[in-house]
Structure 1
């Protein structure tokens, strides 16, 4: 495989370029791989529901199954890929999906691929579909189950209606362990001629939080911007993660119970253009891991984090929300554990 960053295909994303082509090559999902490998041998696939955190191989697995069943020649005519976050309404189910699912196909091996007598519809981000669309899809599944298989991919299985989920074989994808992440990243760096020192590799694994796709995307961005030698600082700049010392400075200002100092740090963070939602995430980790903060104080502080995060999603002012978090944190740290009550 020629290095992507040095080839004429340099418009392709690195994670797409290195995406596993076969189910057996999907990293760390051993139980899923074992069951699906046996399923591929019989070619009798049920409807499937892949769920779990992003970047763990759900879409890759679905695409690999389809490619292994139909090969490159029949793939386009036998497989329909849809992103439900874009096509999430009931009209898509009634038109695009129903029209594709209703047409029967023949069977017979072609080009060494089994080519079973059904088609596959891959619905990525299926948890974005409206409830009406999911109910309509249930009826479509029942009507055309002999000629079409559905592969649903989602992060949150609780957002899939039970009648739909109960018709599928469910496969849970686990977050990738740090060793697996580092091993895959090291392989890509070797193939692409990138130099990533041990500290940078550890940083990349940490900021990606088990999401291999995110890690490879950060690596690709850093390689484009900073060249083949990539440092830990380069990766942090590309990822948008706030430098740990800046988050620590704000937390220390809160612990000092000096409002003027905390207000100054909040203003500095806003002036730097850091996303407040990211700051809340990093402050949360610091609060949870702090040994000098009681459980009651942690609970009070984290409750405010949740409220502020919801307000940010609703479009509230970032400066006011972060200032509110800082002042609430100071207040919580001033209260002794015995002063807490259910009313506070």
Structure 2
């Protein structure tokens, strides 16, 4: 040990190894961004990046210029940019230096009791503001830094009635230095006294053009080749939820990458993605990832449901459904695709459609209650076949 310590060459080698093992902060950030989910990696940083919510962002830009926000209530379907919008607005108001001290973000689905309102939220709401006078003039010119804090309650519709009732007094008492932003999917679950204190912003499901442009933009940055029709299939499977569409696309990119670079264990991620870009993402991959049942299987079931002149259609329907269950397809997904196929079929009279929709609702209730999928699908299919046959 002593001889090694006094050996200059050994000490120099050890120092070089230590310095090389320490990564630069920028390298660490790049490495972290590389392994980040695409949903977080491409989350909008400013209001201009928010897709399709033009009316909401236009109003918020005006409030941003005036640096005076009301209490706000964002509501709409999941994956439409509600949380991303308020986070982008908060960053545009306070910048990176004051963001942590001026913003409190809580997920109300985890912290939704009255104790959280009385302790955590109330303590942050009444705390005195951290002064922005120490900031440079360039910083204040770029970020308004208004004299109030923002409390973001995500999934506020999961809060209990008592917690929402306790929140109204806090909103009134500390409105001079604190603003609240409630984010929820169902505005009807917010009590009226709380909703009336907020300016409401409705987020609609993304249209195909805006969602498609965003998906193409991400695929281009990730050097991902998409087969024709993949973007349309992503939008269809996600049903207006851009977050889900991006997640499906990343899963497909990983699937293609693992198939191309599976035998090269030492290849880095850049070369893996470069090889992946040579093999395009197909529509069938997206269907498999999303759990969508292939159209030919649904066609077989629809054909089996058609009334027969002699005998019963039980044998044909039972065989198709047994194969569907054996292949592991989701009964809920089958219900959704069969519903679309029948309801949007103009050849079926409206009277029969009314009866069939009632059967679909009954099956959906059974599946939610945990009924056997095989028996529920079989029962529903035979009832639909009887209605189509005029029974």
TM-score (norm 2): 0.80
Tell me what 1:15 maps to.
39
For residue 274 of structure 1, the aligned residue among 312, 329, 335 is 329
CA change 1:42–1:252 in 2 (3 A) is same
Q: Secondary structure at the match of 1:20?
A: coil
After TM superposition, the structure 1 stretch with the greater mean CA deviation from structure 2, 248-257 or 38-47, is 248-257
Please name the residue that 1:199 is paired with: 229
Shift of 1:106: 4.2
Q: CA deviation at 1:17?
A: 0.7
Give the conservation status (yes or no) of the 8 Å contact 2:307–2:388.
no
Helix, strand or coil at the partner of 1:80: strand
Which SS does the other structure have where 1:195 is aligned? coil
Q: Partner residue of 2:207?
A: 177
3-state DSSP of counterpart to 1:82 = strand
Of 233, 239, 242, the residue aligned with 2:284 is 233
Cα distance between partner residues in 2 of 1:89 and 1:308: 34
Maintained 8 Å contact 1:108/1:116: no
Is the Cα contact below 8 Å between 2:307 and 2:389 reproduced in 1? no
In structure 2, which of residues 293, 306, 312 is the aligned counterpart of residue 255 of structure 1?
A: 306
State the shift of 1:281 in Å: 1.2
Shift of 1:248: 2.6
8 Å CA contact 1:226, 1:234 repeated in 2: no
SS at match of 1:9: helix
Deviations along 1:60-100, whole A, 9 cap, x unmatched? 10100111111112212211111222222222222222222
Pick the aligned partner of 1:283 from 318, 321, 338: 338
Whole-Å Cα distance in 1 between the matches of residues 31 and 131 of structure 2? 39
Unaligned runs of 5+ in 2: 1-29, 258-275
**Structure 1 residue 256: Cα displacement:** 4.1
**Residue in 2 that maps onto 1:322:** 377
Aligned-CA RMSD value: 1.9
SS in 2 for 1:120: strand
Pairing 1:1-344 to 2, within 5 Å after superposition: 8-108=32-132, 110=135, 111-112=139-140, 113-227=143-257, 228=276, 229-256=280-307, 258-335=313-390
Task: Say if 1:239 and 1:10 are closer, same or farther in 2 by CA, change over 3 A.
Answer: farther
Gaps of 5+ in 1: 1-5, 337-344
Structure 1 distance, partners of 2:374, 2:126, is 53
Separation in structure 2 between the aligned mates of residue 272 and residue 93 of structure 1, nearest angstrom: 48
Contact between 1:70 and 1:115, CA under 8 Å: does it hold in 2? Answer: yes
**Whole-Å Cα distance in 1 between the matches of residues 222 and 31 of structure 2?**
10
SS in 1 for 2:89: helix
| Contact kept? 1:54, 1:155, Cα under 8 Å | yes
| TM-score, reference length from structure 1 | 0.91
1:234 shift after superposition: 0.8
